[in-house]
Amino acid sequence: MQALYAQLLVGLINGSFYALLSLGLAVIFGMLNIINFAHGALYMMGAFCAYFLLNLTGIGYWWALLVAPIVVGIFGMILERTMLQWLAGLDHLYGLLLTFGIALIVQGVFQNYFGSSGLPYAIPDYPQIGEWRGLQGGMNLGFMFLPVYRGWVVIFSLVVCIATWYLIEKTRLGAYLRAATENPTLVRAFGINVPRMITLTYGLGVGLAALAGVLSAPINQVRPLMGADLIIVVFAVVVIGGMGSIMGSIITGFALGVIEGLTKYFYPEASNTVVFVLMVLVLLVKPTGLTGRAA
Amino acid sequence: MKHRISALFLGTALALAAGGGAMAQDKTVKIGVLTDNSGLYSDLGGAGSTLAAQMAVEDSGLAAKGWKIDIVSADHQNKPDIATTVARQWIDVEKVDIFVDVLNSGVALAVNNLVKEKNAIMINTGAATSDLTNAQCSPNTIHWVYDTYMLANSTGQALVKAGGDTWYFLTADYAFGHALERDTAAVVVKSGGKVIGTVRHPLNSSDFSSFLLQAQASKAKIIGMANAGGDTTNTIKQAAEFGIVAGGQKLAGLLLFINDVHSLGLKVAQGLNFTETFYWDLNDGTRAFSKRFSERMKNKAMPSMVQAGVYSGLIHYFKTIDAMGGNPHDGVKVVAKMKEAPTDDPLFGKGTIRADGRKLHPAYLFEVKKPSESKGPWDYYKLVGTTPGDQAFRPLSESACPLVKK
């Protein structure tokens, strides 16, 4: 029974990565109508960015949480300006193919230079307050040993998810954004620079992916294929949650992490496929996904 | 007219004779490096294996004797179906004589069958499954570097002797993981230990926390990692995070490569015990080769034992066909000759190839150094013990290989 609680908690931790990544995808799809297959590669770039910041410039984890999403976000905005913007109004398939190609190129370049086994990135050991050594170590919860870093990941990503949701659904800026995607001509008539807004939105979505990458660097090896391995699951999460729904992807992200964790406990061999089985079941019953609106 | 006809006959006869002569003296060889060029094992084999093959060709000196040797390379993506499609095309269309590397046990077993059917040659330096020289042995295959029986025998026995008598396995869910778990469990039980549980994870998982929690809850003294490459490195990294080693349990890397240690960093990897048959810093011979190798690798990596095996296996192959005076393009015949002669190269030292296709050489038990003990990049291992070649691998008396006369 203790092990079961532990699995639930571990599932929640993985769920926070799913939530952060699928949130970025949902923002990009909801606002730009692009199925961003480059998301996994951008997540990987976030992790590599943290690695370079540490090893080349000495910038540690805490600043990397801020700097890496900005750097990768700017890269994303350049992508949007130079390539993706020309696909506006075309079929989803074009965006999907283009971003898939971008992902393959980015991963290929990284793999060529850094190999496949990856690079080490340690859990930060500062600030040191009392007996706390940064985010290292862990606490005994009685039913499991919880690494401090994992607990931090859950709390931090929850905060980021809710902040993003609030920004888009509750603020004036978010309202402009949503209006701009519904009727760009009208919004432009009010004097709002819609293309710039779309570029910034893509940058935001990409930044979220990079942020997840930085969060994951101390847990997983920093590897060129770390995004490719994860992205398929994240897409399944987005499809189950309903494409483009912000809250849907956050909740589904966490929920699927938990379900996957439970599968690892009861029948580990199926843990890589359970998400897809669920996806099939959901699509059979509700083709728009759990929280998606009909197109 | 008459002259012309006889000239034509003469010409044809000459051409036939020349052609026939060329057959007996055929000095062309095509080598196929079938490996993982893009996935989780690409640092162990991949481009490094192709480089090792090139270096073997250069060092063999055969070009100066009129041989023409070509190398082709392909990515099997760790999928047996892709591997057999490529292998079939290589043999039928490109006339590949010999396959090297062929890492991934699932891939190796599939290619093993095809190579036998087509009478080609495989020098397997990458796959671990001991089935290649046991139930599935073949007159066309030589298993060069290591296998699951040897790893289990060396690492497993040493750890049980050191007091690690209860084991929990974390196993990659495919042919290789199953073979390694099975062979290690047998050694553990034989040495007086007990296996109290096992969990099978899908290949290429990124998160091992659930599996590690189960291993932790089992309270086994040893957690045996029957996986490889990125799976192993992520397991080790996350085990440190969950305080598994600090909590008194010991991690056993049943298959670990120098590239894994390099990518983990000594801070995380220190103290791990495991077995390899090649390490760049063993002696002058290995150091000289490895230095040349790493200068030509794009990330300056030292060779893994898989890549070293490609070099060593091909050197022996070249010696054999050179002694035969030409390439007969007959796998069984060449492999039989390779088994007759003892092997000797700077990388693995003196050795032999057994009737079942098992190459014998010493196995080394290593321990990863502490960061303070390491003098520089790639200075990672301490030698803990050496098992001679004739004791490291499965004895022929236990073999189920049909090629072994009993």
- Of the pLDDT bands very low, low, confident and very high (cuts 50, 70, 90), residue A261 is confident
Instruction: For residue B213, give the nearest of A10, A138, A230 by CB distance.
Output: A10
The chain A residues in contact with chain B (CB within 8 A) are 2-3, 6-7, 10-11, 13-14, 111-120, 122-123, 137-138, 144-145, 147, 149-150, 219-221, 223, 225-226, 229-230, 261, 264-265, 268-269, 271-272
B237, burial (CB in 10 Å: exposed 0-12, middle 13-18, buried 19+): buried
- Of the pLDDT bands very low, low, confident and very high (cuts 50, 70, 90), residue A191 is confident
Closest residue by Cα to residue A17 from A169, A208, A167, A164? A208
Q: Which residues of A touch B265 (CB under 8 A)?
A: 120, 122
Rounded Cα gap, residues A281 and A46, in angstroms: 33
Q: What pLDDT is recorded for position B21?
A: 44
Backbone angles phi, psi at B405, to 5 degrees: -75, 135
Read off the pLDDT of residues B362-374 as tens digits, 9 standing for 90 and up.
999 999 999 999 9
Q: Does B202 touch chain A (CB under 8 A)?
A: yes
Backbone angles phi, psi at B119, to 5 degrees: 55, 45
How many residue pairs from chains A and B have C-beta atoms closer than 8 A? 119
- Of the pLDDT bands very low, low, confident and very high (cuts 50, 70, 90), residue B72 is very high
Q: Indicate left, alpha or beta for B243 from its phi (over 0: left) and psi (-120 to 50: alpha).
A: left
A132-133 and A128-129 as β-strands: parallel, antiparallel, unpaired? antiparallel
Q: What is the mean pLDDT of residues B104-118?
A: 95
Instruction: For residue B234, give the nearest of A116, A221, A269 by CB distance.
Output: A221
Q: Judge whether residue B346 has pLDDT over 80.
A: yes
CA distances for A294 relative to A242, A244, A290, B152, angstroms: 10, 11, 11, 57
> Chain-centre distance of CA A157, in angstroms?
10
Mean pLDDT of chain B: 91
Are B217 and A2 inside 8 Å of each other by CB? yes
Residue A18: both structure tokens together: 């799913």
User: Strand pairing partners for B194?
Assistant: B166
Read off the pLDDT of residues B143-171 as tens digits, 9 standing for 90 and up.
999 999 999 999 998 899 989 999 999 99
Distance from CA of B219 to the nearest CA of A (A): 12
Instruction: For residue B204, give the nearest of A112, A219, A229 by CB distance.
Output: A229
Highest mean pLDDT of the ranges A25-29, A77-81, A92-96, A111-115: A77-81
Amino acid at A135: L
Q: Which residues of A touch B37 (CB under 8 A)?
A: none
Q: Which residues of B touch A7 (CB under 8 A)?
A: 210, 213
Mean pLDDT of chain A: 88
Read off the pLDDT of residues A119-146 as tens digits, 9 standing for 90 and up.
889 888 877 877 777 788 888 887 778 8
Rounded Cα gap, residues B175 and A242, in angstroms: 38
Q: Indicate left, alpha or beta for B378 from its phi (over 0: left) and psi (-120 to 50: alpha).
A: left
Q: Does B209 touch chain A (CB under 8 A)?
A: yes
Are A221 and B230 inside 8 Å of each other by CB? yes
Are B230 and A112 inside 8 Å of each other by CB? no
Are A220 and B237 inside 8 Å of each other by CB? yes
Q: Where are the alpha helices (DSSP H) in B247-405?
A: 258-264, 266-269, 284-296, 305-324, 331-340, 389-392
- Of the pLDDT bands very low, low, confident and very high (cuts 50, 70, 90), residue A177 is confident
Selected residue of A264, A274, A275 to mutate for chain B interface (largest B Cβ count, 10 A): A264
Instruction: For residue B210, give the nearest of A149, A221, A261 by CB distance.
Output: A261
Rounded Cα gap, residues A48 and A63, in angstroms: 14
Rounded Cα gap, residues B271 and B266, in angstroms: 9
Rounded Cα gap, residues A240 and A190, in angstroms: 36
Q: Which residues of B touch A3 (CB under 8 A)?
A: 213-214, 217
Task: Determine the 3-state secondary structure of B382 from DSSP.
Answer: strand
Highest mean pLDDT of the ranges B18-32, B114-128, B388-402: B114-128
Distance from CA of A107 to the nearest CA of B (A): 10
Q: What pLDDT is recorded for position B284?
A: 96
- Of the pLDDT bands very low, low, confident and very high (cuts 50, 70, 90), residue B9 is low
Q: Which residues of B touch A123 (CB under 8 A)?
A: 241
Q: What percent of chain B has pLDDT over 90?
A: 75
Instruction: For residue A3, give the nearest of B213, B234, B301 by CB distance.
Output: B213
Task: Determine the 3-state secondary structure of B342 from DSSP.
Answer: coil
Are A221 and B213 inside 8 Å of each other by CB? no
Read off the pLDDT of residues A92-112 as tens digits, 9 standing for 90 and up.
889 999 999 999 999 999 988
Q: Where are the beta strands (DSSP E) in B130-221?
A: 141-143, 166-172, 194-201
Q: What is the mean pLDDT of residues B115-120?
A: 96
Rounded Cα gap, residues B177 and B208, in angstroms: 15
Are B233 and A3 inside 8 Å of each other by CB? no
- Gyration radius of chain B's alpha carbons: 23
Q: Which residues of A touch B263 (CB under 8 A)?
A: 115, 117-120, 221
- Of the pLDDT bands very low, low, confident and very high (cuts 50, 70, 90), residue A221 is confident
Nearest residue in chain B measured CA to CA from A149: B241
Q: Judge whether residue A70 has pLDDT over 80.
A: yes
Rounded Cα gap, residues B280 and B289, in angstroms: 8
Q: Does B173 touch chain A (CB under 8 A)?
A: yes
- Of the pLDDT bands very low, low, confident and very high (cuts 50, 70, 90), residue B16 is very low
Q: Where are the alpha helices (DSSP H) in A39-183?
A: 39-52, 61-82, 92-114, 148-170, 172-182
Q: Which residues of A touch B378 (CB under 8 A)?
A: none
Read off the pLDDT of residues B166-220 as tens digits, 9 standing for 90 and up.
999 999 998 889 999 999 999 999 999 999 999 999 888 888 988 998 898 899 9
Q: Are B248 and B218 in contact (CB under 8 A)?
A: no
Are A221 and B259 inside 8 Å of each other by CB? no
Amino acid at B342: P
Rounded Cα gap, residues A241 and A236, in angstroms: 8
Q: Which residue has the tokens 């490109």?
A: B94
Complex-level ipTM: 0.81
A97-136 exposure pattern, b = at least 16 Cβ within 10 A, e = fewer? ebbbebbeebbeebbeebbbbbbbbbbbeeeeeeeeebbb
Q: Which residues of B touch A220 (CB under 8 A)?
A: 206-207, 234, 237
Selected residue of B43, B205, B241, B270 to mutate for chain A interface (largest A Cβ count, 10 A): B241
- For residue B58, the surrounding DSSP H or E stretch is helix B46-60
Read off the pLDDT of residues B270-319 as tens digits, 9 standing for 90 and up.
889 899 999 999 999 999 999 999 999 988 999 999 999 999 999 999 99
Q: What pLDDT is recorded for position B20?
A: 44
Q: What pLDDT is recorded for position A292?
A: 66
**Virtual torsion, Cα A53, A59, A64, A68, nearest 10 deg:** -40
